[in-house]
Structure 1
Amino acid sequence: MRIALIEPDLRHAEIVGRLLLAGGHACHHFAASAPFLAGAEHEFFDLLVTDAFCGDAAAEDVIARVRQLLPGLPVVALMSAPRESELVAMLQAGADDCLSKPVRGPEMLARIEALMRRAGIRRPRNRVREMFGDYAFDAGRSIVSFRGQSITLTPKELQFALLLFTNMSRPVSRAHILETVWSRRRDVRSRTLDTHASRIRTKLELRPESGYTLTPLYGYGYRLDRIPVDNPDSADKPAPTERIVETL
């Protein structure tokens, strides 16, 4: 996942960044809130981790601004030996969780994973074969089988498709897609992601008539939904006539 970190303490920021990297996340550090907020509407993040003091503003004020710009962005606050009243104030300000400084790696990663689960973000499981309804994924051969046919995908198309099917009916952010499939956002243009989404839609026949829709979410990402399909045969059949049996 792509995580933004607002931390004026450069030494602690380096520690947090290494721990997040070890946990499979990408950390983008900001020494103050201003540069983060300046690009918040255009950058893509799955989570914000912020110090109680952001270098140029209190976290409570920054969180209020974040809630206006990115209402659904989960926020974790870092606090040094906080009192109960300070924890309560931070949570009431809009933080989803709080961690004591200096952070403890396993606890931080576990809390982040729990928070992302509550936010509805899931990662594809590390298995060679996966089944999602009538779609069978063979990651070893990059083949997807469905409705009597087998389609070969490129490795990145397969990872992208697996991410969508794993998060069925859940919005998946561009940040999560880019970090999961391409590892680094800087290496990939937005158009590349959209092109891959279009290819997946075509190759896997993710169309309403087939029972699926792959919807682009403007400014956020994509969502794959399974929808009911009308049976044309049943529509053509006349309704059964009622038989009345008289008893004598």
Structure 2
Amino acid sequence: MRIALIEPDVQHAKLIERLIFAGGHVCQHFIASAPFLQRATDEFFDLLITASWARDHCAEDVIARARSILPSLPVIVLMSAPRESQIVAALHAGADDCLNKPVRGPEMLARVDALLRRASLRRPANRRRDTIGGYAFDTAHFAVTYRGLTVILTPKEFRLALLLFNNLARPVSRAHILETVWARRRDEKSRTIDTHASRVRNKLQLRPELGYALTPVYGYGYQLDAIPPEAVVDAD
């Protein structure tokens, strides 16, 4: 499922992103509500998780604006040591649930899954795949469909591909890859990451002439870039 996260606290957002990926979902992080609302006009989200203050608007306003675009969108509000009146206000504004910050992994995933189970009945039939840059990700079967082809990946290959596509044009560190894909910090051999990156590149045909380039970033990690057709022509 595709989950939008509005969280100005980047470190806390990284924690939530790792948890959501571990739960088998796609997470798109926004540091404020405005870019999320703009994206929501073109893309479908199954769930919104938003901080009580989304940098530019309070959660109550964000809920109203989001529901004007995606009417049945479930919403979880993140709060730091909230008073009862704050929780009540969020629920009255339309929040489906509230969570304390920082989140606790098992509790957050359980609440996310519960909301998604209820919301799945309302999801449009034509939005059952998460499509990013022309690649459709099926988390239930670890399958990726692109250009009329469907490829089955291993669970780790699938999570790595999702991580790279959700960080398009941004370098992803080896440490982040280990934490997200392997749920480990430094006890996985470096060549294991390289092997999985090579398999993802080959299976998904991430080549410049086909619109994408997956390249190692020396001493750091990997970066996936979309290559415009004119750039390929100029290179030739």
Q: TM-score, normalised by structure 1?
A: 0.53
What residue number does 1:230 align with?
A: none
Q: Does the CA-based 8 Å contact 2:40-2:69 persist in structure 1?
A: yes
Q: CA–CA distance in 1 between the matches of 2:125 and 2:18?
A: 25
- Code of the residue aligned with 1:73 in structure 2: it is L
Greater Rg over alpha carbons, structure: 1
Task: After TM superposition, give the deviation of residue 6 of structure 1 in Å.
Answer: 0.2
Task: From the superposition, tell whether residues 89 and 22 of structure 1 become closer, same or farther in structure 2 (CA, over 3 Å).
Answer: same
Which has a greater percent of helix? 2
What residue number does 2:43 align with?
A: 43
Identical-pair percentage: 61
Q: How does 1:233-248 map to 2 (within 5 A)?
A: none
Q: Give the SS at the match of 1:103.
A: coil
Q: CA–CA distance in 2 between the matches of 1:5 and 1:170?
A: 19
Aligned match of 1:186 in 130, 133, 142? Answer: 133
Q: CA–CA distance in 1 between the matches of 2:5 and 2:123?
A: 25
What residue number does 2:107 align with?
A: 107
Q: Does the CA-based 8 Å contact 2:46-2:119 persist in structure 1?
A: no
Q: CA–CA distance in 2 between the matches of 1:103 and 1:66?
A: 23
Q: CA–CA distance in 2 between the matches of 1:170 and 1:187?
A: 21
What residue number does 2:125 align with?
A: 172
Q: Count residues with an aligned counterpart.
A: 141
**Quick check: 1:22 aligned with 2:8?**
no
Q: CA–CA distance in 1 between the matches of 2:126 and 2:107?
A: 25
Give a deviation string over 1:152-195, Cα, whole Å, max 9, x none.
Answer: xxxxxxxxxxxxxxxxx974352x423xxxxx522428xx89x8
Q: Give the SS at the match of 1:102.
A: coil
What residue number does 2:120 align with?
A: 120
Q: TM-score, normalised by structure 2?
A: 0.55
Task: From the superposition, tell whether residues 170 and 94 of structure 1 become closer, same or farther in structure 2 (CA, over 3 Å).
Answer: closer
Q: CA–CA distance in 1 between the matches of 2:61 and 2:126?
A: 25
What residue number does 2:73 align with?
A: 73
Task: After TM superposition, give the deviation of residue 91 of structure 1 in Å.
Answer: 0.5
Q: CA–CA distance in 1 between the matches of 2:35 and 2:63?
A: 14
| Structure 2 stretches lacking a partner, 5+ long | 137-144, 150-236
Give a deviation string over 1:44-79, Cα, whole Å, max 9, x none.
Answer: 211110000001111111111111111111111001
Q: CA–CA distance in 2 between the matches of 1:49 and 1:101?
A: 12
Bigger Cα displacement from structure 2, 38-47 vs 98-107: 38-47
Bigger Cα displacement from structure 2, 15-24 vs 39-48: 39-48
What residue number does 2:97 align with?
A: 97
